[in-house]
Amino acid sequence: MDRRQFVFGIVAAAALSAGARDGRAECGELTSNEFVRELYEKQARLHAANTPLTADEFHALFASDLRKLMQSPRRTPNNMPVGPLLNAFFGWGVLPGTEIKVEKVALVSGNYEGPATVGIDLKYRGESRKVLVHAVRENEVWLVANIIYDSGKSLVSHYRAITAR
C-alpha cells in the first residue's frame, strides 16, 4: 500500500464514521445533542410567549427518578428565605416572558447515544449563562435526569431541599 492509498483509506474511514451518526438521525433517532437543542429551543419559544406546559407535559420530560422527586410532598422549612423563582430549564430568576436565545449546544461528557452531559450556552437580559443537562434514555425515549445551572446548584438538589429527601 502506498501513501496515497493510505491517506484515501483514512479519509474514507472518517467519512463513514461521520455518516453513521448522520444516518442515525435520519432514521428518526435523535442524538443527545439534538434532543437537548430541540428541547431548549422549544422551551425558549414557550417561555418567551408566556405559554407554560401542563404539569403532565412538564413531568413527562424528566427521567423517572427525578419525576418521583419532583412529585414528592414538599417540606419547605419555615426559615427558608423567599428568593428568586427557579425555572427548571433556565435557572433562578428567569421570569415568564423573558426572551432567551439558545446559542451553542455541545457534548461535555458521555456519548451521543447516551447517557450524556450536554452543555448549553444561553443568553438572556444581556447576560450569558451556561447550563449542563444530563440526558438519559428510558424505554428508547430521551429524558432529562438533571440540570446543573451556572451557579453550581442543580435541579435535583433543589427538589431534594424542598422535599427533605
Per-residue pLDDT of 98-128, as tens digits, reads 999 999 999 999 989 889 999 999 999 999 9
Q: With bands split at pLDDT 50, 70 and 90, how would you rate the model's confidence at 91?
A: very high
Nearest to 89 by CA among 98, 76, 80: 98
CATH no. of 30-163: 3.10.450
Question: Phi and psi for 125 in degrees, rounded to 5?
Answer: 50, 35
Cβ atoms of 32 and 142 within 8 Å: the answer is yes
Side-by-side strand order, sheet with 141-148: 101-110, 116-124, 127-138, 141-148
Domain boundaries, the chain: 30-163
Interatomic CA distance for residues 18 and 31, integer angstroms: 13
Q: Hey, how many other C-beta atoms are within 10 angstroms of the C-beta on 129?
A: 18
Nearest to 42 by CA among 55, 53, 31: 53
Cβ atoms of 162 and 88 within 8 Å: the answer is no
Interatomic CA distance for residues 10 and 3, integer angstroms: 11
pTM over the 0.75 mark? yes
Per-residue pLDDT of 56-73, as tens digits, reads 999 999 999 999 999 998
pLDDT of residue 110: 94
